[in-house]
Structure 1
Amino acid sequence: MPETRFKPLAWTKLQRGVPCYLPQPPARQRVDVHSPALSVMTDFQRLTPITVRHDMSLDEANRIMGLSHAQYLLVADGQNHLLGIASEASTRGHHPLAVAHQLGIRPGELTVGEVMIKKHDDAEVMHLRDVRTASVGNVLAALKELASPFCLVVDHDEEDHHVLCGIFSLAHIERLMGVTPSVEVAQTFSQVVSSLGR
């Protein structure tokens, strides 16, 4: 039978003027194209992604991204099935203005679902089993071929169904590599992937 009576730990009064020592984040090693791909993947088991409804207003989504310093939001339907990704590039600047013009509505009336990067059943994903043995250079080459700043990573359950487990973000990889992020995806790829041949 487990012990149910415990002696309480001792305690005391907090002293005045105690400095608050916050834990220092571990120093990140510089990432290059030969680093393991897992070192630049955002692992959803360690960092839960922010997920929003597809009918959320674009203004609210931008507010959430600003407050959380997130570069993207996952977009889901009422059953929590993935519909797409809302990135800063798709929620700010020219893109939402063009979408609003095309739909004949004001930009303030836009929802996340109308500007997101759509991810349907045939969307390209990378498999965790491949990522485990890949390098950052392999990931960059794949993103270039896909012409996309994001790629989701899936694992497989016992029945071989996809289970969303991570994401590669070009902006995140750039930051870890010390590359200055650029606005145009094509320019970004030419900057980052130029190091593949080194």
Structure 2
Amino acid sequence: MKTLDFYPTTDIDELAWPEENYDLTIDSPALSFFTDFQSNKPLIVESTWSVLNVKELMQKEHVRLKFVIDENKHFIGVVSADDIIERKIVQKVSEGLERSEIVVADLMTAKKNLKALDWQDISKASISDVITALKNDGERHCLVMDRENHKIRGIFSASDISRRLRLNIDIQEKTSFSKVFTATL
């Protein structure tokens, strides 16, 4: 067994930081902005977890979206900060659930209601193409699937893109009849 020594840090002034690429522009390859799940673990929650706990967790972690898995660790949907707003929790309470009984599966967006870009397409695209797709679809996040291997390969986040480009990306959520109808109930 090797003995490890401790050293004083009094002469150390700097923290190590990931190298920032300041040469990024809207014409940069989309993959420069892509969170690839082959090298970064997806942020997950289980479908049976309390919505109140997940809401608190997401606020602490400063994330707006998590992937939802079932008891077999299969991808079944996503839950966003917009899915677990107080109004939606109160609606579930009005349906007879106790606040503490509401679980992620009650408010998440099921995978059958999600769309994704294809890995092959984004590997040839610029980040401008992705921004346009996000704006056109009114989405802050965009899943990317590897159709050949039947997996969600990763995600784009408008806030991450905005931060890295130092550019305000204004995503206007599309208003659909169903969203207007359910908001008035």
For normalisation by structure 2, the TM-score amounts to 0.76
1:165 maps to 2:153: yes
Q: Identity percentage over the alignment? A: 25
Distance in 2 (CA, whole Å) between partners of 1:179 and 1:171 is 10
The aligned runs of 1:14-29 (5 Å cut-off) are 14-15=7-8, 17-19=10-12, 21-29=14-22
- Asked if the contact 2:35–2:154 (Cα under 8 Å) also holds between the matched residues in 1, the reply is yes
Q: Secondary structure at the match of 1:175?
A: helix
Select 2:104's aligned residue among 109, 112, 125.
Answer: 112
CA shift, 1:11, in A, is: 7.0
Matched AA of 1:135: S
Q: CA RMSD in A?
A: 3.1
1:5 alignment counterpart: none
Distance in 1 (CA, whole Å) between partners of 2:71 and 2:37 is 20
1:177 maps to 2:153: no
1:130 alignment counterpart: 121
Unpaired segments of 5 or more residues in structure 2?
Answer: 176-185
CA shift, 1:56, in A, is: 0.5
Q: Secondary structure at the match of 1:167?
A: strand
Distance in 1 (CA, whole Å) between partners of 2:4 and 2:45 is 43
Distance in 1 (CA, whole Å) between partners of 2:26 and 2:9 is 50
- Asked if the contact 1:128–1:155 (Cα under 8 Å) also holds between the matched residues in 2, the reply is yes
Number of paired residues? 175
For normalisation by structure 1, the TM-score amounts to 0.71
Q: Deviations over 1:81-132 (max 9, x none)?
A: 211111122223434334443x333444321112212212x74221111111
2:75 alignment counterpart: 82
Q: Secondary structure at the match of 2:83?
A: helix
CA shift, 1:18, in A, is: 5.0
Q: Deviations over 1:3-43 (max 9, x none)?
A: xxxxx989766347453642123123264432211122111
- Asked if the contact 2:77–2:110 (Cα under 8 Å) also holds between the matched residues in 1, the reply is yes
The aligned runs of 1:1-198 (5 Å cut-off) are 14-15=7-8, 17-19=10-12, 21-29=14-22, 31-101=24-94, 103-120=95-112, 123-156=114-147, 160-180=148-168, 185-186=173-174
Distance in 1 (CA, whole Å) between partners of 2:19 and 2:133 is 29
Distance in 2 (CA, whole Å) between partners of 1:178 and 1:62 is 28
Matched AA of 1:87: S
Unpaired segments of 5 or more residues in structure 1?
Answer: 1-7, 188-198
